[in-house]
Structure 1
Amino acid sequence: MVESNPPLLHEYSQILRQSRQDCAVQSKIVSDKYNGSSECELPLIDLRGLKSENEEERACCIKEIARASSEWGFFQVVNHGISLQLLDKMRSEQIKLFNAPFQSKASCGLLNNSYRWGTPTATCPHQFSWSEAFHIPLTKIAEDDCYGQFTSLREVMVEYASAMQELSKLLAGVLVMNLGHRKELFDEICDESTCFLRLNHYPACPISLELFGLVPHTDSDFLTILHQDEHVSGLQLMKDGKWVSVKPNKDALIVNIGDLFQAWSNDVYKSVEHKVMANSRKERFSVAYFLCPSYDSIIGSCKQPSRYKTFTFREYRNKTQEDVKLTGHKVGLPRFLLD
């Protein structure tokens, strides 16, 4: 069997063999729970409505964004102001980056040493992600010495991050105002020092029936903007207790609500579990932008009585990481529910 880059199969072969021998029943339960889905089209929102001179059209667009955030936790946006040329350039540079030898990605200080692959804490296939990624703080994107031989990537990354930052704050402002607060609220706690870009690559997986490209999870941020692969599907989300596959749309970006927005909105907006399924024949690429607050920012509900304890982003991240290390799973918001 041909090894992948990164060497996912080689490094985790013992875990996989042990799981086949000792976790057959558990694997069947996991398979029944996580596999199988129908295809859906997410709510599609034309953002030209936000800039319309017609007050009724603006109000309608805001209502659509708020409804999708409450009912789905996910939606698509078109006419978002980010050129297809920039998205295509980002994809082209991303492919070149991930095609580099494994050692070049893993040990050369590339992109602030942000390279990661697989799931080091995995003990069974259902805890393992068949993927690799660069998870880069926005503060490091402009630094020349982060890019090594990939000098053409820097200019594209800087432009891409700036465009995503502007779009994320526009959408966050809409959702904040919808609940009666100032749209600038998140500007005070979310800036380039706290946000991230994540470049994802899901290599073709010869054992795709057993593994996820990215394990089921919710996002630990306010909101995420995703440019997904327009040719290869794989993203699935939980809707009404069932997994549904998201149909790729080359003209749209995907937006999803994160845990912090759900807590801040007191469950008005929903942070929904989602995953990526591995593909046995085709590789897949995506880029995600995460709108995050500073680590010491206090997250409290905007409505009373609150369902959640007040916490800082640092406390939330630390607890999430602790749960993953101990159990292999993220618990997330339920840890912070009031009794």
Structure 2
Amino acid sequence: MGSCDPPFQDFYKKLFDNEKINNNTTNVLDIVEERELPLIDLNRLNIQLEEENCKSDIVKASQELGFFQVINHGVSSEVLANMRCEQMKLFKRPFQEKANNCHPYLNCLATSYRWGTPTATCLKQISWSEAFHVPLTGISTTVEVSTLSATTKELVKKMYDLAQRLAEILAEQLGNKPAYFKETCSPTTCFLRLNRYPVCSVSPNVFGLMPHTDSDFLTILHQDQIGGLQLVKEGKWIGVKPNPNALIINIGDLLQAWSNNVYKSVEHRVIVNTYVERFSTAFFFCPSYDTMIQSDVENSVYRRFSFEEFRQQVEDDVKMHGQKIGLSRFNI
């Protein structure tokens, strides 16, 4: 069997050679402080005297940091452990098998395999990672041909319910209709991304995942204990200290636009490790492509746009500029 790792150094040989020729040995990473995200116990939502305070904590974290973590979230440790086991087996398939989708274990979820950054023109634009994008339409009718598909279905149902619950709380605090998210986001409009960050011997020069914001309403992340997730706070990068019992929640671009900048979609990135590979699973709470995003306030910062238009603009910007530009494209 061939190697499971993508051929990063061969594929990007010209970029590495150019770096050497031009003596560009700039470290793309800052020395950052590692901190714990705000931790919110969702059991408090079931306690009458604690419910409103818990909702206020969720709103505050979404406004000030754009990131928080939750415990007692309804996704069992058994489901998360099973998903991680299946995910690791999936990524350990030979690279050529993954790239060509030539094994039943891979195509049972109609996944789309991606690695690196095909449009990269310099080392700092490389994402030293590989991922399976799983459209949830692909598992809603899939026959239970593997433990992978069965485990994915179970995980997705729990994460979708959690995303809906959090989105409704955030809508209520704005005085907006919580039903908006049930009308626009269904399990089949969301998607799951399984990530692997291979060991990287040139880690000071590349990212695991380039700095970016998420193009959705909410993201739910389950990461391992290796660490590497970093986000911007007050103009500086901070590291997120892993918590084995928590799921990480972050605000996406669509919710920032819909809330007229009340909730913050914050830039974040992933740092690779020189010695140990890293795994994570991300659930993206997305609407249908024809959903229109618009704030209810009179003096909205952003013009009205569809999710499809937003996705297309992001894709065009990445091709043209090597990176996402995002919400500023839709300013009034």
> In which range does the TM-score fall when normalised by the shorter chain?
over 0.9
For residues 212-263 of structure 1, the C-alpha deviation after alignment (integer angstroms, 9 at most, x for no partner) is: 110000000001000011x201000000000000000000000000000000
Given residue 244 of structure 1, which amino acid in structure 2 is its aligned partner? I
Out of 108, 121, 124, the residue aligned to residue 123 of structure 1 is 121
Quote the offset at 1:179 in angstroms.
0.5
1:213 aligns with 2:211: no
How do residues 4-153 of structure 1 correspond to structure 2 at under 5 angstroms? 5-22=5-22, 24=24, 28=26, 31=28, 34-52=29-47, 54=48, 56-108=49-101, 110=107, 111-144=109-142, 151-153=146-148
- For residues 297 and 273 of structure 2, the distance between their equivalents in structure 1, rounded to whole angstroms, comes to 43
Cα distance in 2 between the residues matched to 1:172 and 1:122: 35
1:286 is aligned to: 280
1:299 aligns with 2:297: no
The alignment yields a C-alpha RMSD, in angstroms, of 1.7
Q: Which amino acid in the other structure matches residue 84 of structure 2?
A: R
AA in 2 matched with 1:289: F
Q: Does 1:257 align with 2:257?
A: no
Please report how far the alpha carbon of residue 278 of structure 1 lies from its aligned counterpart in structure 2 after TM superposition. 1.0
1:294-329: CA deviations, max 9, x gaps? 111100013221001110011111111111101101
Q: Hey, what's the Cα distance between the residues in 2 that align with 1:145 and 1:105?
A: 21
Distance 1:20 1:262 in 2: 41
Residues 1:113 and 1:44: Cα distance change in structure 2 (over 3 Å) = closer
Report the 3-state secondary structure (helix = DSSP H, G, I; strand = E; otherwise coil) of the residue aligned with 2:160.
Answer: helix
Q: Percent identity?
A: 51
Could you report, residue by residue, the CA deviation over 1:82-117 in whole angstroms, capped at 9, with x for unpaired residues? 110110000011000000111221112633241000
CA contact (8 A) 1:4 1:203 kept: no
Pair 104,300 (structure 1): closer, same or farther in 2 beyond 3 Å: same
Displacement, 1:183? 1.6
Q: Which amino acid aligns with 1:269?
A: Y
Question: In the TM superposition, what is the alpha-carbon distance from 1:16 to its structure 2 partner?
Answer: 1.9
Aligned pair in 2 of structure 1 residues 192, 271: CA closer, same or farther (>3 Å)?
same
Cα contact 2:115–2:131 (8 A) shared by 1: yes
Task: Pick the aligned partner of 1:232 from 226, 237, 251.
Answer: 226
Picking from 261, 276, 286, the partner of 1:267 is 261
Q: Is the 8 A contact 1:112 1:146 kept in 2?
A: no
Contact 1:106–1:113 (8 Å) recurs in 2: no
Q: Give, in angstroms, the shift of residue 142 of structure 1.
A: 4.0
- Aligned match of 2:149: 154
CA distance in 2, matches of 1:11, 1:143: 37
8 Å CA contact 2:4, 2:94 repeated in 1: no
CA shift, 1:181, in A, is 1.6
Pairing 1:325–2:326 present: no
DSSP-derived class of the 2:58 partner = helix
For 1:198, the aligned partner's letter is R
Please report the TM-score for the alignment, with normalisation by the length of structure 2.
0.94
**Structure 1: gaps of 5 or more residues:** none
In the aligned structure 2, how far is the partner of 1:21 from the partner of 1:194? 46
Would you say the 8 A contact 1:236–1:245 is kept in 2? yes
The reply on whether 1:164 has 2:159 as its aligned counterpart is: yes
Alignment partner of 1:308 is 2:266: no
